């Protein structure tokens, strides 16, 4: 009996309880990936002021825009809808004039009305606070891209978080039938490889903007691997078993195709 159970260690042969467990996880991860894509489009994807992720977006996000300040770039990009055209124009003009302290009282109400609901230490300590002239003046300087502190913080969060996602997605996909073992192993390995490429390219792009392409390639690579594993796993858990075929194979044992 034990040998028979071990011989059916594959997605189409899973019991309803295990399939439900795996499906719940995959559904939550699928929604999470979609939310991540939306967040990228609404933040990095607006860095150049236009909707959609481009090489310029990546360059502005990590290398910076030497012809503009971080504040102006945000006002023309991902924060464009957070203030009226008149208020944005006034802030941009003030920034281009060098953000003089003597005119701070004229623009302070704009920050109070449109910015500090998020940009304050009490509300969101992880983003730049904009509650005083000293704090605002830091983002009116030339946009030098992502800081060392920011890159370090975001890199370790992504490396740990995304790696854990793909450990469990790969764990489920490893039970899929009908794949050459080497092909399956490559699909499982791809997201980890492209994750390293993606994160490494942030650091390199901050110095050499020409490497921005690798950020797009890295993100696309592990998203495609996720899609393959997600759809394959869902199909084999819920659609494939309907053909009535019994799969007498243990996908966790070493074998040659």
For residue 23, what pLDDT is reported?
98
The contacts of residue 121 (CB under 8 Å, 6+ apart) are 129, 131
Q: How far apart are the first and last CA of the chain?
A: 26
For residue 1, what pLDDT is reported?
43
pTM exceeds cut of 0.85: no
pLDDT tens, per residue, the chain with 257 residues = 444 445 578 999 999 999 999 999 999 999 999 999 998 888 777 666 677 888 988 988 898 886 788 888 888 877 888 889 899 899 989 988 888 999 999 999 999 999 988 888 888 877 888 989 999 998 888 778 888 999 999 999 999 999 999 999 999 999 999 999 999 999 999 999 999 999 999 999 999 999 999 999 999 999 999 999 999 999 999 999 998 888 888 888 755 44
For residue 178, what pLDDT is reported?
93
- Answer yes or no: are the C-beta atoms of 9 and 255 closer than 8 Å: no
215 half-sphere exposure, CB direction, 13 A CA radius = 27
For residue 192, what pLDDT is reported?
97
DSSP string across 147-186 = -HHHHHHHHHHHHHHHHHHHHHHHHHHTT-SS--HHHHHH
**Angle subtended at Cα 234 by Cα 231 and Cα 236, rounded to the nearest 5 degrees:** 105
């Amino acid at each position: 009996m034990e040998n028979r159970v071990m011989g059916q260690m594959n997605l189409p042969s899973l019991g309803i309880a295990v399939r439900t467990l795996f499906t719940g996880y995959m559904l939550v991860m699928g929604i999470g990936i979609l939310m991540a894509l939306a967040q990228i489009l609404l933040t990095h994807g607006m860095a150049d002021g236009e909707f959609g992720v481009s090489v310029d977006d990546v360059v502005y996000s990590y290398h910076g825009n030497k012809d503009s300040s971080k504040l102006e770039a945000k006002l023309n990009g991902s924060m464009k809808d957070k203030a009226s055209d008149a208020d944005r124009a006034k802030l941009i003009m003030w920034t281009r004039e060098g953000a003089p302290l003597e005119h701070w009282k004229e623009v302070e109400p704009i920050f109070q009305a449109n910015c500090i609901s998020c940009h304050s230490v009490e509300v969101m300590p992880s983003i730049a606070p904009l509650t005083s002239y000293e704090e605002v003046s830091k983002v009116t300087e030339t946009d030098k891209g992502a800081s060392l502190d920011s890159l370090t913080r975001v890199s370790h969060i992504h490396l740990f978080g995304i790696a854990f996602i793909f450990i469990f997605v790969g764990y489920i996909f490893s039970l899929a039938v009908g794949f050459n073992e080497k092909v399956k192993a490559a699909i499982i390995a791809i997201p980890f490889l492209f994750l390293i490429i993606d994160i490494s390219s942030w650091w390199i792009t901050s110095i050499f903007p020409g490497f921005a392409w690798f950020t797009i390639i890295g993100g696309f690579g592990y998203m495609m691997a996720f899609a393959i594993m997600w759809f394959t796993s869902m199909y084999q858990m819920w659609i494939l078993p309907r053909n009535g075929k019994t799969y007498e194979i243990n996908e966790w044992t070493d074998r040659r195709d």
